[in-house]
Structure formats: C-alpha cells, structure tokens
Amino acid sequence: MPVAPCFDPTTGASGGAVSGGGGTGADLAALALTAIDLTDGTWTLSDPSSLVKSVSYAGGQNTITMNALASGNAVYNWKNSSTKSAPRWYKTAAIGASNINRGDSVVGIYVLNADDTVRDFKADFIVGLARDATQTLVGNILLGGAICSLFSTTVPSNAAYGVYAYSAATSSGTNGPDTGIITMLSGAEKVGGGASYPLASDGTATNVSTRSSSQAITTGGSPMHLCVGVGTYNNTATIAQDARLVIAAKYALIKPVI
C-alpha cells in the first residue's frame, strides 16, 4: 500500500511534509483503504490441519471454502487455547517500502463486512499485526487487530465486530450492524489495544467495544506480519465439508512521526 505520512516532520502539521520538503501526504480526510484479496499472490497460507479447501475473490469479497472439521477443538478457536492450529494467511507488514518492526508505534484501521446471507459455520475472522504468524503457540504469534465473529448459523443473521488482542476478543453486534470499523494501536514492543464501532447501514455506531493486551514483544517481529486468520467461534463448533465464509476486509497502517 502507498506510504501515508501523518505529520510534517518539521512543523508538526497533519498530512505529511509540505511541498518541497519531501512531498505531500495522503488526504487524511478521505484516506483510501487497501482491500484484502487473499488470491492476489502476496499472501502465504499456513494451515497446520489443512482446513482450507480453496479461496476466491470477487466483488471485494473473499470466499473461503473449508474442509470438514468433524469435532470441535480449542486449537481452532483463536480466542482460546495456548496453541493455535487454525489457518492463517500472512505477509510482511509494511507501509510502502518500509517494513514495520516490533518497536514501531503503528495505528491499524480495519473495516470488515461479512456477507450476512452466508452462515455455513460458526466462525471468527481476524486481521491484524502479529509477531510471527507462522507459529502455533500464542506467546510466539502475539497477534492484535480486528475480529468479525459469526456466532449463529441462522440465515440471515448479524455479525459481531470487535477487537482481538493476544488470545481473546471483545466484540458486539447489537441492533444489526452492517459493517465494523476497528482501530488498533500496536507496536512499541506491545500487542496493544483498540476500539470497535459496529456501524448500521446509515453509518451510525450501534455499539462500541474496546480491548487491550500488555503482552510484550521483545524478540522477533522484525519485521512484523500482517495476518488474516480464520477459525471457529467456540471450542465445540464443527465445520461441514465445503462450508464457506464470505467477507470483505480493508485496512490502512499508519506510522506517525513522534
């Protein structure tokens, strides 16, 4: 994604350096987010239990088709267990050509929108920054970001949107949210914390939720990973063969001059 400087390093003015002093910054009043397309060739899939059958992308949505999970297990629930065997896609976290490292203070903005007509299994979808998305122990992954929870298989039904930090999440989905916007402050060698607004179709917030984690990232994470994880909503949820999760996700990463 393009570099989005936030402040002029000499004057402190918003929008990046002024013309003649390093170029103009992004329009922070109309910041374009990057759509997540898991088929675009930039993502690597880590799937210890081979739960992902296929993924496709159309109309701004990722359709993730799953293989069967006959018996639920905590290792497939991102919100529980010290071991994470659920599938995840990852790539180097970067702003433009600059990698994001564990010591950097970074604001992540995430917009998630699940297709409410597809509820094939009780699922979680997570996107955020991780120390190392290839690991299976929660203390090595150290992931924080946004979560969409599909807690019902009734069609149609609402999703819950919220903040994921380390190995737990706080989300809300009352009054029929149309989408979720989540911000997460991470880095400075911490997983970090954030806030979530589930938004109605008219753009008003239907609720708010917050969560944070003070878990330290003192090794690794140079660079960090941008991670997209899929799992079951709880420890007992099962997955039928060819069950689908359909979701649109966009993000922006911002590193302010401090």
Q: Is the distance from CB of 182 to CB of 169 less than 8 angstroms?
A: no
State CA 201 to chain mean position distance: 21
CA angle 51, 34, 126 (to 5 degrees): 35
CB 98 within 8 A of CB 254: no
Q: Which top CATH class is 35-254?
A: mainly beta
Preceding omega of 5 cis (within 30 degrees of 0): no
Residue 138 has φ and ψ, to the nearest 5°, of -60, -35
Burial letters 202-221, b for 16+ CB under 10 A, else e: eeeebbebebbbebebeebb
- Angstrom distance (rounded) from CA 123 to CA 16: 39
- Rounded CA-CA distance 122/242 in Å is 14
Rounded distance between C-alpha atoms, residue 85 and residue 73, angstroms: 10
Neighbours of 117 (CB within 10 A): 9
Q: What is the pLDDT of residue 28?
A: 87
Tokens standing for 156? 């149609």
Report H helices in 80-205: 138-141
CB burial of residue 246 (10 Å; 0-12, 13-18, 19+)? buried
Predicted pLDDT at 21: 30
Asked if residues 105 and 12 have their Cβ atoms less than 8 Å apart, the reply is no
Please state, in angstroms and rounded to a whole number, the distance separating the CA atoms of residues 61 and 82. Answer: 30
Alpha carbon distance, N-terminus to C-terminus of the chain: 21
What pLDDT, in 10s, does the model give residues 87-117? 999 999 999 999 999 999 999 999 999 999 9
With contact defined as beta carbons under 8 Å apart, do 154 and 118 qualify?
A: no
pLDDT in tens, 4-48: 545 443 334 444 433 333 234 678 899 999 999 999 999 999 999
- Indicate the SS3 state at residue 119: coil
What pTM does this model have?
0.89
The reported pLDDT for the residue numbered 34 is: 97
- Give pLDDT, residue 156: 87
Query: How far apart are the C-alpha atoms of 126 and 75, rounded to whole Å?
Result: 15
Instruction: Identify the residue with better confidence: 166 or 176.
Output: 166
pLDDT at 182: 97
Domain ranges of the chain: 1-32, 35-254
Dist. CA 160–CA 7, nearest whole Å? 34
User: pLDDT, tens digit, for every residue of 61-82?
Assistant: 999 999 999 999 999 999 998 9
